[in-house]
């Protein structure tokens, strides 16, 4: 275990890190709770970094008002950004440990995906902290040891990160979507010299899976010997799509199956997205199995796996998002095409009808010429369709 106090820097590489957030003593006569936290962590065999937002014991007398107002907050925010878990322990005492700054910090970090909250059972003025914890699925504990146990369970074995990589917390570092992007950068000699996490969007019963994420990276470009710092990187689960089609003598008369669905970002004359059947699965599961399931969910058709011809996997929107789309093709029988045409106007979707706020799709069969000469199908889907037809 390596303890990092005010103004100290963490090692160049580490596998896990904890920030001990909570009320801090401001006078020598008030006892800090953090030495006990360090003792418990050491006793449990924790071998990572611990950020302690207090002066090193031998340096306490050297701190002045300027430190508390300016230097200390800057250091704290830098290390909060780098930490894998922010452990909030709030033994609030309105006279000696009021924790006013702690309230602000908790509000800022509660939705970060890396917070654990603990406080003694009868601590005053903690109702709102628990309300916020419930809202953002933050674990709540009522002893310091149990709060530490939960923190260690979240961190697990950790993962070695070096330099700018240290600013990617484990919950994001361990996602397939981040690793697929970052390994592609490392493969060509680039490196991450720093990063700021803008936001994450989580899904699942307990919001445990990172679906979308956005970062502002500082990337060293090896081939150009320079750093690029003026862009954001957005990512999400990879997707699978399929061109379900019936070929015609005149290719422009070939028919393609699309799904029409209200999606909030739509910007066209219909207000709906018109796209190929497709979707994603957590952890980048088998793309073929994903598309078989998506075809059934979105258009109601069962097609055997063996009929799906793999085309290629490509990045979908390279200037903005890192995610890829795996494309397949299936030529339909006359009977299948006729049945799909009969489904127009009938809603389908994985969430329909049980979840009215979720997925609700409509099957539409469109000729290739109509796809090319209106604005309903976006360029990405046009490109996928044309790669097959």
C-alpha–C-alpha distance, residues 77 and 79, integer Å: 5
- The 3-state DSSP class for residue 225 equals coil
Q: Are 296 and 304 in contact (CB under 8 A)?
A: no
pTM: 0.89
- Tell me if 37 sits within 8 A of 144, measured CB to CB: yes
Would you mind telling me the total number of residues written for the chain in this entry?
389
Percentage above 70 pLDDT, the chain: 97
Rounded Cα–Cα distance for residues 241 and 267 (Å): 21
If you average pLDDT over residues 353-362, what whole number do you get? 82
* Distance separating alpha carbons of residues 91 and 18, to the nearest angstrom: 18
Provide φ and ψ at 241, rounded to 5°.
Answer: -135, 160
pLDDT, tens only, 121-147: 999 999 999 999 999 999 999 999 999
| Best CA proximity match to 113, nearest among 142, 80, 89, 91 | 80
pLDDT tens readout for residues 152-174: 999 999 999 999 999 999 999 99
């Amino acid at each position: 275990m390596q303890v990092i106090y005010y103004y100290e820097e963490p090692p160049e590489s580490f596998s896990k890190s904890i920030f001990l957030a909570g009320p801090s003593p401001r006078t020598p006569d008030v006892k800090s709770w953090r030495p006990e936290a360090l003792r418990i962590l050491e006793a449990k065999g924790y071998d990572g970094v611990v950020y302690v937002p207090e002066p090193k014991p031998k340096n306490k007398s050297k701190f002045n008002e300027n430190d508390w107002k300016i230097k200390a907050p800057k250091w704290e925010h830098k290390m909060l950004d780098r930490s894998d878990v922010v452990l909030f322990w709030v033994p609030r005492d309105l006279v000696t440990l009021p924790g006013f700054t702690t309230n602000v910090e908790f509000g800022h970090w509660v939705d970060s995906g890396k917070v654990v909250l603990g406080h003694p059972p009868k601590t005053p003025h903690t109702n709102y902290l628990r309300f916020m914890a419930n809202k953002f699925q933050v674990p709540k504990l009522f002893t310091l040891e149990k709060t530490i146990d939960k923190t260690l369970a979240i961190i697990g074995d950790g993962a070695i990160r070096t330099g700018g990589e240290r600013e990617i917390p484990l919950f994001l570092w361990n996602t397939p979507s981040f690793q697929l992007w970052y390994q592609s950068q490392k493969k060509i000699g680039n490196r991450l010299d720093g990063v700021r996490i803008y936001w994450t969007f989580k899904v699942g019963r307990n919001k445990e899976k990172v679906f979308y994420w956005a970062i502002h990276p500082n990337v060293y470009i090896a081939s150009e010997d320079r750093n690029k710092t003026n862009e954001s990187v957005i990512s999400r689960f990879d997707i699978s799509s399929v061109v379900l089609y019936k070929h015609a003598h005149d290719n422009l008369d070939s028919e393609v199956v699309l799904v029409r669905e209200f999606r909030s970002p739509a910007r066209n004359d219909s207000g709906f997205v018109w796209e190929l059947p497709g979707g994603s699965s957590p952890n980048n599961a088998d793309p073929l199995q994903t598309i078989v399931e998506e075809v059934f969910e979105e258009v109601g058709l069962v097609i055997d796996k063996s009929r799906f011809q793999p085309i290629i996997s490509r990045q979908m929107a390279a200037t903005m998002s890192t995610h890829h789309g795996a494309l397949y093709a299936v030529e339909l029988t006359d009977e299948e095409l006729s049945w799909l045409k009969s489904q127009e106007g009938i809603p389908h979707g994985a969430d329909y009808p049980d979840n009215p706020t979720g997925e609700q799709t409509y099957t539409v069969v469109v000729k290739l010429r109509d796809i090319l000469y209106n604005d309903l199908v976006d360029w990405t889907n046009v490109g996928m369709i044309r790669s097959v037809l």
